[in-house]
Amino acid sequence: MSIKTLILALALASGLAGAGFATTASDADPPAPTAAVAPMTNLPSDQSLISGYYKAKVYDQGHYKVCEIKDMLFDQNGRIIAVLLSVGSLLGIGEKDVAVPLDSIKVIQRNGKRWFAVNVTKQALKDAPAYVYDHRTAQWQPRAG
C-alpha cells in the first residue's frame, strides 16, 4: 500500500467513521445545518505527519529494531486507538502483525533524528496475538489458528 493510499484511506476512515454513528429521528428529516469551517492560517509548530509513521522502524530500549508500523486504527471520534506493528524475522519470513495501544509508542530524539521506541521485547511481540487485514470488510481481524 502506498503512502498516498494510506493517507487517503485514513482520511476517509476518519471522516466516515462518525457518519455511520449519526442517528436522526427519521431518515426523512433534513440534515441539521453545520457550522462553517474556517481554514487554518497557521500550522502547529510541533506537527507530525501520519505518513511519517507508516512503515517506520520501531526500536526497543536497547536500540534494536523490533518491528515496523503497519497501520493505525481510529475510533469514531478520530482518535488513534491502536497501532498495528509488523513483527518478523529475516526477509519477512515468519512475519505477523500485532496490535499495541498508541501510547506504548514513544517518539524520541537520538542523534538529531526522530526515532520510534516501544518498551517491549521482540519476543513478546512475536508471542502476541496476530491480526490480519480483511480486504472484504476493510477491517483488521484476529488471525485464526
* Nearest residue to 14 (alpha-carbon basis) of 57, 59, 76, 98: 76
pLDDT tens digit sequence for 50-74: 888 889 999 998 889 999 999 999 9
- The model's pTM: 0.69
Note the pLDDT of residue 110: 84
Dihedral, CA of residue 24, residue 25, residue 29 and residue 32, to nearest 10: -50
State the burial class of residue 46 (Cβ atoms within 10 Å of its Cβ: 0-12, 13-18, 19+): exposed
Q: What's the CATH code, domain 3-18+52-142?
A: 2.30.30.240
State the burial class of residue 87 (Cβ atoms within 10 Å of its Cβ: 0-12, 13-18, 19+): buried
pLDDT tens digit sequence for 81-137: 999 999 986 666 788 999 999 999 999 888 888 889 999 988 999 999 999 999 999
Q: Based on C-alpha coordinates, what's the Rg of the chain?
A: 18
- Give residue limits of the domains in the chain: 3-18+52-142
